[in-house]
Homo-oligomer: A and B are copies of this chain.
Amino acid sequence: MKKNKGVLSLLSVLVFFSACITTKQQTDPKNLVIREQGSFAVGGTKTTEQGSFDLNNALKPQGQTFHGDHAYAFYQIPVKAHKYPLVFLHGAGQSKKTWETTPDGREGFQNIFLRRGFGVYLLDQPRRGEAGKSTVAATITPVPDEQFWFTQFRIGNYPDYFPNTQFPKDSASLEQFYRQMTPNTGDFDGNVISEAVSQLFNKIGEGILITHSQGGGPGWFTAIKNNKVKAVVAYEPYSSFVFPKGELPSPIKSAGLFGELKGTEIPLTDFNKLTKIPIVIYYGDNIAKEPTKIWNKDHWRSGLEMARIWAATINKHGGDATVVHLPEIGINGNTHFPFSDLNNVEIANLLSKWLKEKGLDK
Contact = CB atoms under 8 A, between A and B. Distances in A.
Q: How many copies does the complex hold?
A: 2
Interface size class of A (residues with CB under 8 A): 35 or more
B295 A31 contact: no
Contacts of A142: 47, 66, 68, 133-137, 186
Contact of A9 (B12, B105, B140): B12
A48 B48 CA distance: 43
B133 A130 contact: no
A1 interface: yes
A221 to B, nearest CB: 22
Helix, strand, loop or mixed for chain A's interface?
mixed
Contact of A64 (B16, B19, B70, B147): B147
A63 B147 CA distance: 9
Contacts of A13: 12
B26 A79 contact: yes
B16 A26 contact: no
Q: Chain B CB within 10 Å — which of A19, A147, A181, A183 has the most?
A: A147
A235 interface: no
B26 A27 contact: yes
Interface string A1-32: 11001101100110110011001011110111
A178 interface: yes
A25 B33 contact: yes
A9 B5 contact: yes
Given A12-B9, A26-B79, A144-B64, A182 B151 contact: no
A185 interface: yes
Given A139-B139, A185-B185, A148 B9 contact: no
A49 B144 contact: yes
Contacts of A181: 133
Interface string A119-144: 00000100011111111111111111
Contact of A66 (B41, B144, B185): B144
Contacts of A64: 144-148
Contact of A33 (B8, B31, B178): B31
Contacts of A101: 38-40
28 contacts: A5-B6, A8-B9, A9-B9, A12-B12, A25-B35, A31-B35, A32-B37, A33-B33, A33-B34, A38-B111, A39-B100, A40-B101, A44-B179, A53-B147, A55-B151, A58-B148, A58-B158, A58-B295, A59-B145, A64-B146, A65-B146, A66-B143, A72-B97, A129-B182, A132-B140, A135-B142, A140-B186, A185-B185
